[in-house]
Homo-oligomer: A and B are copies of this chain.
Amino acid sequence: MTNAKAFAALADPTRREVFERLARGPSAVGELAHGLPVSRPAVSQHLKVLKEAGLVTDRPDGTRRVYQIDPKGLGQIRAWLDQFWDAALEAFKAEVERRDESEDSDNGKEEP
């Protein structure tokens, strides 16, 4: 699936940090590298991964290159999560009820 790249991209702490900074506004590579504990080429490589995951877009500006968040990749992850959200809540509720029944036969009563 396409969300594989997005999850793999956001799994790295440095990449999440870059992503969070871009969420506060568009920025160039040098700006991002300044303030991060890694070199500029490292940031450039991270941005490449984020771009291929559909999480950011880039636009040339003279010799600089401005990056910003792309809602596309973000939306894919949200859709994937929402797919399980309802099922997860339902299963969890069923489990709680099952435990209540188990304690019912095991103990005797639960609180009103």
Closest CB-CB distance, A77 to chain B, in whole Å? 6
Report yes or no: B23 in contact with A13, Cβ–Cβ below 8 A: no
Q: A7-B10, A7-B11 are in contact. Are A68 and B92 (CB under 8 A)?
A: yes
Report yes or no: A92 in contact with B70, Cβ–Cβ below 8 A: yes
Q: A4-B13, A7-B10, A7-B11 are in contact. Are A85 and B95 (CB under 8 A)?
A: no
- In the complex the two chains form, what is the Cα distance from A53 to B69 in whole Å? 26
- In the complex the two chains form, what is the Cα distance from A32 to B15 in whole Å? 32
Report yes or no: B68 in contact with A85, Cβ–Cβ below 8 A: no
7 contacts between A and B (CB under 8 A): A7-B7, A7-B10, A7-B16, A68-B91, A71-B89, A74-B85, A77-B81
